[in-house]
Amino acid sequence: MRYVARRMGLFVLTLWAALTVNFLIPRLMPGDEATAVLSRMKGVNPAALHALQVEFGVNTDQNIVVTYLQYLGNCLTGQFGLTAARVPVMTDILDKLPWTLGLVGVTTVIAFAIGTMVGVVSAWRRGGRLDSILPPLLFIVSTLPVFFVALVLLYVFAVTLGWLPLASNYGLGSTPSLSLAFTWDVIVHAILPAATLIIVTAGSWIYTMRNNMVTTLAEDYVRMARAKGLPGWRIMIDYAARNAILPNLTGFAMQLGYVLGGSILVEYTFSYPGLGYLFYTGTTDHDLPLQSALFLVYTLAILICVLIADFASALLDPRTRDA
């Protein structure tokens, strides 16, 4: 119980820290959302500025502490107000969420599957040809900058070969529906962004999985299994891999943060209209309500995954509870 309480405490504290930083930074800097909108419209009367400031809730007369408490309250209750384009923030986010969730979710699962499999096999055949080439190669590839991988794929497959579309989430001629044609169109548009994310994340799965396997394979119970004459694949899967995968659960949560960040760059490069692109434009346009809400979404996504991973590994491996 103490463990659970402690982790929840961290959860709340981190959330508070993230929200506070996100509140303070834009407000300590000159220029508010209304000014940003007006700057783009140019030369507008100060009266209109004041009207827009009231409209955007940038009431300059209000005490900053009061504003801060209101902001925290609004974040907790999910009342984010309107974006600079005057759409409810939640509507905007929910519109874009499925695209990012699909992209990040699918790529994470694929990268995890590929990485784990290659990691297990290469550790099992340690020193073999696969082991001496794939893990180091993929590790190096995974350290390449996300946007560079995206640009190369874009250049090769979209610009030069013309095999795949170079932007957007579905084609101009398509209308959203559950039809096979539309689904196919969505998949075709997602291939390059997804491939980018898989390329930059699979390597570290392989790496950690391989190292975990190497350690596990040296354990006594694996030696015992061998002595009993069990078939190799059973030892590999049932004895070694099952245990080696455990530490990767925590990695999963950490990895999510990396993938979410990477998705911003990927969505930007491929003009993919998901949360990442929304966050990028919202921040550079100083659209505070949108930016605050999305920052909260990112923080919550990571925190919840960390919590789940913590509890999962605590359940599966009692030793970590005291760590």
Partner 1 sequence: MTTPAISPGASALIEGPAQRGPSASRRFAQAILRNRKATAGILILAVISFVAAFPGLFTNINPHAAIYDQQVGPSAQHLLGTTQVGEDVFSQLIWGTRLTLLITVVVSLAATVISILIGVTAAYVGGMADRSLSLLTDVFLVLPTLPLLIVLTAYLPSGSLTITAVMIATSWAFAARQLRAQGLSLRTRDFLEAAKVRGERSSYIIIVEILPNMISLLVASFLGLAVFVVGFAAGLQFLGLGNSTELTWGTMLYYSQQNGALEAGNAVWMLAPGAAVAVLGTGFALLNYAFDEIGNPALRPVRRRRVKPSA
Partner 2 sequence: MRGSRLFSLVIAASVIAAACGSSTTSPSASGTGPGATATVPGASTTSPGASAASPTASGPINSGKIGGKLVIDNESGSTWTCQFNPYNPSVSGTAVGFIYEPLEFVNALQTNTDGSNKVTPWLASASTWSPDFKTLTFTIRDGVNWSDGQPFSAADVVYTFNALKADSALDLNALWSADGGPLTSVALQGSNQVVFTFSGPAQTYFFYVADQIPIIPQHIWSKLDQTKLDTEADTSPVGTGPYLMSNCSQNNIKYLRNPNYWQSTASHPVPQIAEVDYPSFLSNTPANLLLAEGQAQWGAQYIPNIDSFYVAKDPAHRHYWFPAVLNVALFPNLNNPLLANVAVRKAISLAINRADVSQRGESGYEPPANQTGIVLPTYNAWYDKTIDTTAFDVAKADQTLESAGFTKGSDGIYADSTGHKLSFTIKTISGYTDWDSSLTVITQELQAAGIAVTVQDEDTTVYTPDLQKGNFQLAYGEETGGPLPYYELRQMLLSSNIGSTNYSQYKSAAVDTLFNNYASASAADQVGIIHQIEQVMVNEVPVIPVVEGVDWYQYDTTDFGGWPTPDDPYAQPPVWATPDNGVVLTHLFPTN
Binding to partner 1 (CB under 8 A) within 107-146 occurs at 126-128, 131-132, 136, 139-140, 142-146
Q: Which amino acid is at 113?
A: A
Find out whether 89 and 83 touch, Cβ atoms under 8 Å: yes
What single-letter DSSP state applies at residue 82? B
Find out whether 193 and 272 touch, Cβ atoms under 8 Å: yes
What single-letter DSSP state applies at residue 143? T
Binding to partner 2 (CB under 8 A) within 162-191 occurs at 166-170, 172, 175-176
For residue 82, report the phi and psi dihedrals to the nearest 5 degrees. Answer: -110, 150
Find out whether 302 and 253 touch, Cβ atoms under 8 Å: yes
Find out whether 213 and 241 touch, Cβ atoms under 8 Å: yes
CB of 177 to partner 2, least distance (A): 11
Binding to partner 1 (CB under 8 A) within 253-282 occurs at 254-255, 257-258, 260-262, 264-265, 268, 279-280
Comparing CB distances to partner 1, the nearer of 26 and 182 is 26
Whole-angstrom Cα Rg for the chain: 24
- Give the integer Cα–Cα distance in Å for 267 and 278: 9
Binding site for partner 1 (CB under 8 A): 10, 13-14, 17-18, 21-22, 25-26, 29, 126-128, 131-132, 136, 139-140, 142-148, 151-152, 154-155, 159, 201, 204, 207-208, 211, 214-215, 217-218, 222-223, 226, 251, 254-255, 257-258, 260-262, 264-265, 268, 279-280, 283-284, 286, 291, 294-295, 298-299, 301-303, 306
Site residues, partner 2 (CB under 8 A): 29-32, 35-37, 39-48, 51-52, 54-55, 82, 84-87, 92, 95-96, 166-170, 172, 175-176, 271-273, 277-278, 281, 284-286
